[in-house]
């Protein structure tokens, strides 16, 4: 993934910003001076003063025969800016290498790559719910920069629309990096809602676009992985077992990336031009360790007890009733239990009591906080149990 000093799109944006003439732009292109990092060394050395006369002679001898005052001033500014950015990048690589590898993608580079993906994949509408957020694109780019597998959970694969609408106010945090003490601005975005199969699938599609954006996987290979993964939802279960659930799909996806990490997979494009994730994702999915998590589970339905035919079953009836009452009173708050609420959803996941009783600011509606999912404790909809009758 191209950094700020290696991005051709970023360099072209600066050239347009300085309003250089077309002959100068063509001259720079003919010399392959198309990135900030290359242009910084075209004349002199970074950190040294620019000699006006020598620089003008170099421009007229190599770029354009007769340079105007406006173009000369713009080129000097571009050279000075390029050399300053190169020196700053070199210093950051020495003093804070981790910070250098997690830099956000430059805006011009991001827009240029997204436009290239839209052209390459005309059958996919990369907008609305399928447009990945800047945060997701930066996470995929960081994976490419570090050349190591990192798992990005579905709830973290938010859309650009979700990022803009739900982004919280920026907060200031004090960071210590090497010998530098700095105050940085952090923008937090709540997790996406991934409770249904469609929401999970859209999240994983957004992640796939981010991986293609970072040149970590081919779209055809990733689409085959997603299709194979979600095909388990349509598989008919044997008698006494339930159909494969969405939570099993998410767990299997997590185990796939865990297995890739254990195998030491390097996601960056290799010397021969191959991408390890093209085969690695599908091979990990069909492995025994991952396939085991997708097997149909025993049905959770309670056995029916016929209490009418045998009067002696009254004891058994009392036992079932006491078990249910004790379980409800011990774990479910009265404010939720009186409204018919339960502690877990059909998949066995915890439900946030604070969200259902009053409010909880740790996650968005439909997402999960440390206490559980922000869904209705009665119908599992996208509202609290207090608002159940209002829906």
Q: What pLDDT is attached to residue 174?
A: 54
Which of 294, 309, 343 finishes a domain? Answer: 294
Please indicate, yes or no, if residue 315 is contained in any of the structural domains.
no
Segments forming the whole domain that contains residue 369? 332-390
**Whether residue 179 is found in the same domain as residue 283:** yes
**Whether residue 119 is found in the same domain as residue 70:** no
Total domains, the chain: 3
Q: What pLDDT is attached to residue 322?
A: 45
Please indicate, yes or no, if residue 318 is contained in any of the structural domains.
no
Q: What pLDDT is attached to residue 332?
A: 85
Alpha-helical (H) ranges within 96-218 are 97-101, 107-120, 134-146, 160-166, 197-213
**Whether residue 229 is found in the same domain as residue 135:** yes
Q: What pLDDT is attached to residue 327?
A: 43
Phi, psi torsion values for 362, nearest 5 degrees: -80, -15
Please indicate, yes or no, if residue 83 is contained in any of the structural domains.
yes
Q: What pLDDT is attached to residue 307?
A: 43
**Whether residue 76 is found in the same domain as residue 174:** no
**Whether residue 244 is found in the same domain as residue 364:** no
Q: Burial, 149: exposed, middle or buried (Cβ in 10 Å; 0-12, 13-18, 19+)?
A: buried
As a residue count, the chain comes to 391
Q: How many contiguous H segments (helices) and E segments (strands) does the chain have?
A: 17, 4
User: Which residue matches tokens 């209002």?
Assistant: 390
Integer CA distances (angstroms), 11 to 14, 44, 81, 274, 361, in order: 5, 19, 11, 28, 42
Q: What pLDDT is attached to residue 315?
A: 44
Contact 176, 347 (CB under 8 A): no
Pairing of strands 180-186, 241-242: unpaired
Integer CA distances (angstroms), 334 to 133, 342, 383, 390, in order: 40, 11, 18, 20
Non-local (6+) Cβ contacts of 162 within 8 A are 133, 189, 192
Which of 294, 320, 341 finishes a domain? Answer: 294
**Whether residue 202 is found in the same domain as residue 144:** yes
**Whether residue 71 is found in the same domain as residue 178:** no
Please indicate, yes or no, if residue 102 is contained in any of the structural domains.
no
**Whether residue 88 is found in the same domain as residue 113:** no
**Whether residue 210 is found in the same domain as residue 281:** yes
**Whether residue 165 is found in the same domain as residue 261:** yes
Please choose, from the candidates 72, 70, 14, the residue with its C-alpha nearest in 3D space to the C-alpha of residue 43: 72
Q: What pLDDT is attached to residue 371?
A: 87
Q: What pLDDT is attached to residue 175?
A: 56
Which of 65, 95, 125 finishes a domain? Answer: 95
Please indicate, yes or no, if residue 88 is contained in any of the structural domains.
yes
Please indicate, yes or no, if residue 301 is contained in any of the structural domains.
no
Q: Burial, 80: exposed, middle or buried (Cβ in 10 Å; 0-12, 13-18, 19+)?
A: middle
Please indicate, yes or no, if residue 168 is contained in any of the structural domains.
yes
Please indicate, yes or no, if residue 218 is contained in any of the structural domains.
yes
**Whether residue 147 is found in the same domain as residue 66:** no
Q: What pLDDT is attached to residue 171?
A: 57
Please choose, from the candidates 305, 353, 365, the residue with its C-alpha nearest in 3D space to the C-alpha of residue 328: 353
Give the tokens for residue 150: 């990192």
Contact 378, 388 (CB under 8 A): yes
Give the tokens for residue 249: 């799909």
Beta strands in 178-262 (DSSP E): 180-186, 241-242
**Whether residue 123 is found in the same domain as residue 185:** yes
What's the gap between Cα 336 and its chain centre? 35
Spatial distance between the Cα atoms of 328 and 323, rounded to a whole number of angstroms: 9
The H or E element containing residue 72 is: helix 69-95
Low-confidence residues in the chain, pLDDT < 50: 178, 302-330
Question: Rounded to a whole number, what is the distance in angstroms from the first to the last CA of the chain?
Answer: 47
């Amino acid at each position: 993934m191209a950094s700020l000093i290696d991005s051709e799109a970023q360099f072209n944006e600066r050239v347009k910003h300085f309003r250089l003439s077309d002959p100068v732009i063509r001259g720079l292109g003919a010399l392959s001076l198309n990135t900030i990092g290359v242009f910084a060394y075209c004349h002199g050395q970074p950190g040294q003063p620019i000699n006006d006369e020598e620089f003008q002679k170099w421009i007229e001898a190599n770029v354009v025969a007769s340079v105007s005052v406006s173009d000369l001033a713009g080129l000097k500014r571009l050279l000075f800016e390029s050399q300053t950015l190169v020196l700053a990048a070199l210093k950051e690589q020495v003093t804070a290498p981790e910070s250098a590898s997690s830099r956000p993608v430059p805006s011009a580079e991001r827009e240029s790559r997204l436009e290239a993906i839209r052209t390459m994949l005309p059958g996919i509408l990369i907008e609305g719910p399928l447009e990945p957020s800047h945060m997701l694109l930066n996470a995929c780019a960081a994976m490419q920069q570090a050349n190591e597998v990192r798992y990005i959970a579905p709830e973290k694969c938010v859309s650009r629309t979700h990022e803009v609408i739900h982004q919280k106010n920026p907060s200031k945090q004090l960071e210590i990096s090497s010998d530098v003490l700095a105050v940085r601005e952090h923008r937090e975005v709540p997790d996406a809602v991934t409770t249904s199969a469609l929401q999970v699938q859209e999240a994983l599609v957004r992640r796939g676009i981010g991986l293609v954006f970072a040149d970590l996987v081919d779209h055809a290979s990733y689409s085959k992985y997603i299709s194979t993964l979600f095909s388990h939802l349509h598989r008919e279960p044997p008698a006494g077992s339930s159909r494969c659930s969405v939570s099993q799909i998410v767990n299997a996806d997590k185990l796939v990336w865990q297995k890739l990490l254990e195998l030491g997979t390097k996601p960056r494009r290799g010397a021969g031009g191959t991408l390890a994730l093209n085969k690695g994702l599908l091979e990990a999915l069909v492995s025994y360790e991952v396939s085991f998590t997708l097997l149909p589970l025993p049905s959770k339905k309670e056995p029916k007890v016929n209490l009418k035919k045998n009067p002696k079953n009254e004891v058994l009836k009392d036992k079932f009733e006491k078990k249910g009452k004790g379980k409800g009173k011990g774990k479910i708050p009265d404010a939720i239990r009186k409204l018919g609420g339960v502690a877990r959803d059909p998949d066995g996941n915890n439900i946030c009591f604070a969200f259902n009783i009053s409010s909880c600011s740790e996650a968005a509606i439909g997402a999960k906080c440390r206490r559980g999912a922000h869904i209705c404790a009665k119908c599992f909809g996208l509202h609290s149990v207090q608002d159940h009758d209002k829906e």
